[in-house]
Chains A and B, each alone.
Chain A
Amino acid sequence: MNVKKLNLKIVFTLFLALFLVALAVNTGIAEEHAEETVAAEVTGDAEGSAEEAVEEESVPYVEDEYRNFFGIDGRLIVWIISQLHLMFAAFVLAVPLFVVIIEAIGAKTNNLQFDNLAREFTKLLSTAFATTAALGGLLSFALYGLYPGFMRYMTGVFHPYMYVYALCFFGEVFFLYAYYYSWDLLKTGPGKWLHVFLGVMLNVFGTTLMMLANSWATFMMAPSGIDMKTGAVLDRSAAFFNFLWMPVNIHRIIANVAFGGFVVGAYAAVKFMGAKTEEDRAHYDWMGYIGNFIGLAAFIPLPFAGYYLGREIYSASPVMGNIMMGGAFSWTFIIQAILIGMLFVGGNYYLWNGLGRIKGSERYTPYVKYINIVIFFCFAVWLTPHNLPLSGEERALIGEQYHPFSKFFGVMAAKNAVVNLLILATFFSFLLYKRANKGETMPFKSHGNAARITMIITVGLTIMYLLWYSMGLKGQDLNEAIRPYINPLLTCIKIQIAAIIAALFLTFSNRGKLAQTLLFVVTVSISVIYFWYYGFVLMEKANMVLRFLSVTQVSIVISTLIVNTVIDVFLFKNAKEVGGIQWGKIPNRAQYALLLLCVAIVTLMGLMGFIRSGLRMNWHIYGFMQDKSPGAFTPSIAYMGWVVSLIVFLFLAMVAIVFWLATLGDKKKKHA
């Protein structure tokens, strides 16, 4: 019976895969058909020349600029392969980042549980690595085969770096396998730290590898170091260290960690739901929790990194910026908003359900409804577009182009305010989760001088950063009419600094919770409520200052996140436990939330990959080399939706197979 069901599932999956492939490829073939007609006309001419060629008995070699993939457009093929490669690469690069941290925690605290978890993650890594490399190879062949002209130029510019890339690849392979296979060998004592070092080196090579490849992609968006008319290479290192390189590096590293966290979270969820023993359930519940924790922790700073990247894209080209946020790609950002909202909701939902396995959490569950309202309110504002889809009748009834909802919710000032509130609310959920198990706290003095010094250093560094930023603000070269609009920002930073200092003293006098509350209240008042209003003032009077407003907003929120985290650590250090966490006692609903998070982050990465690459529109290298292939159109949202769905489906299917292969050995061991 089960076999029959399994067969049905396999048949259905194959059907779904074929269906999606057919849909995605359909447009490519349609395009190709048009091309064939043109090609036929060209061949007509070519036949004549071929006859002449026969007479001369030699055919001149013609260098192709573009080819297609067995009738399918090259752009579609490269799109799918590169996105799959990037997703696997994101996983392979992200997992070692947190595996090493988890292993180091295990080594420091002598906790074997952490060590085992790190090892389990690494096991997934080694099989995924081979797939990444295979996809990478396929991508190179596809690029060189389908876009020979373009790749000839790219190779001309970047060939020295390509050797470095290959070298780093060797480094990564060496350290990955050394790391994985020396786990038992280097189990104890200084050997363990040598093992951690191997892991760190694996990360160094992996990250360098990613940064090298990033440079080629960002060069295509914001070329530098070349003559924009002739293409002559003027400064190879300038081409490499191009303007968007660092913003993309930062954004990708953080996004990869979030991606890796949510993917392993989903792995744990599947394992949890299939677990036969209580022990396994407890283990995979914990693993899912760690996955979600890593995913959310990386996801919290991600909007800041995204904002930085977006702003730099505007700097590189205001037109590309407008295409992105207000032009052809603006609707894809509404889809992005929905996915981001889903990630915040899913992450919080998992935490709230997780409260059920902690005795003592009843004290905090009443807050859940308020956080829920805040999160969904923010979600609503976050996805409200500036340009609403309106029918003619609606437009007539409203009497103008913008409805007040879109006017007040649809612009950046509102979006920045709510995304900061979303982040603060999620952070608040985390704090509640962390303290659910904790009862009576110890006085701050009992933690000794180390705690005091840590607090002072944290507060000192945070304040120094805020002061450094406000000095920068003061020093801005702005004209006299605009300059006064900077002052409210400076005042808000001063208020935040005062609040941080007050929080420090409150913590010292054992009022840590009050200190945290104070910081939350001040930050929400400034960064969310006041800056929402002030954003509109600036939009009207001094839009030059808007960019400083966003950074001030982010700086204030981050300072609160940092200081409140450190306060929380000491507030609940050595606190009495109320009842302990019963790992494994979590409803399956929460596991489905983990699966949703995984699907949402994979879709998000697919979507954002499309946006980043598609922004160049019909350019290979923006402003220098045009894409003249027949497939060089900007896909419609529907077509993009099909292709991204196909990519998500293929990735999840491949990951499932890879993970299944990775755990095949375990089953044998257990049976033995």
Chain B
Amino acid sequence: MAKKKNSYSMMMVVVSVLIVFAIIKVIAPYVFMILLAKDHTMPTPSTLLLWYMVLAISASLVYVSTSDLKWANFLSFILPAGNDKLKLLFQKMLVISIPLLVGWFVYSGTVPGTASPVELRIQHPTLLQEFEKMENPFANADEATKRRCIEEGKHLYQQNCRPCHGSKADGNGPFANAFRLRPINFTDPGTIATVVEAFAFWRIKEGGPGLPATSTPWDSAMPAWKDVLTDTQIWKIIMGEYATAGVQARQREEMEHE
């Protein structure tokens, strides 16, 4: 009796994989819509879906082969069903669905389409050596000067950066929707909070045109500000920008102050 119950483990694997697929593909977009209070669903990217499904299938196969008995039970599903009509039905479904699945993969992989290519993005371009050791000239200034610089910086930020990066530095400026890759949301702690100020200085000063030749293609509409703003103004903007976004720049650790 127990053996008969276990002999459905291949179907259990198929069902589990389908459940994982449904969660990632169908449920997650709605869950994220509700959790993040968005007005649209958040569809799971195809790369991620593929990776997670590979993991789900591997996990199932790992589990069913953790003992000889489980493995034998798993494989036994392809043996003749005998009088078990349910098993026979599942077997037929399995036999039909495998070529269908393969066919679907082949079809979706070869059908002509107009999708733009998937890009391997890199978070931080390689900072040029000449910028690496740069320090904010106001870093060691007294509190009053710092406060004044931040206020001036906020003002300069609103004048120059707001149209794209938004008045709250959240990447929601009035021009933001015009870009294929939206301007960076500085309030997201995974952005400017992860780099040192010198990095932000380089990005503002040199902009998209100054991005290095490695790890291309870049996808940036950031203008180079070196002809418009002075270095001092850029440092002030950086101070104002971090303050507006409510995040802090990565701090250099002790060794460098030695």
Contacts and interface: CB of A to CB of B under 8 A. Distances in A.
A417 to B, nearest CB: 16
B94 to A, nearest CB: 22
B46 A318 contact: no
B196 A393 contact: no
Interface residues of B, number: 69
B48 A403 contact: yes
B65 A589 contact: yes
B224 interface: no
3 closest A-B pairs by beta carbon, nearest first, are A539-B189, A392-B116, A315-B253
Interface of A: 243, 314-319, 322-323, 326-328, 330-331, 345, 349, 352-353, 355-356, 365, 368-369, 372-373, 375-376, 379-380, 383-384, 386-407, 410-411, 536, 539-544, 587, 589, 617, 623, 634, 637
A389 B45 contact: yes
Contact of A326 (B63, B124, B132, B181): B124
B215 A403 contact: no
Contacts of B227: none
Contacts of A401: 181-182, 184-185
Interface stretch (B150-158, B231-239, B244-252): B244-252
Contacts of A398: 42-43, 45
Nearest to A413: B189
A345 B62 contact: yes
A376 B56 contact: yes
Given A401-B182, A544-B248, A353 B253 contact: no
Nearest to A637: B120
11 contacts: A319-B196, A327-B123, A330-B124, A376-B56, A380-B51, A384-B48, A389-B47, A392-B116, A400-B182, A402-B188, A542-B248
Contacts of B123: 326-327, 330, 386-387
A395 B180 contact: yes
Interface stretch (B32-40, B82-90, B103-111, B160-168): B32-40
Contact of A399 (B40, B187, B255): B40
Contacts, number: 185
Interface SS of A by simple majority: helix
Given A398-B42, A617-B126, A349 B194 contact: no
Given A322-B127, A356-B67, A401-B184, A328 B44 contact: no
Interface string B21-32: 000000010001
Contacts of A319: 126-127, 132, 196, 198-199
Interface in B36-87: 36, 38, 40, 42-48, 51-52, 55-56, 58-59, 62-63, 65-68, 71
B118 A391 contact: yes
B95 to A, nearest CB: 26
B140 interface: no
A411 to B, nearest CB: 5
Contacts of A410: 190
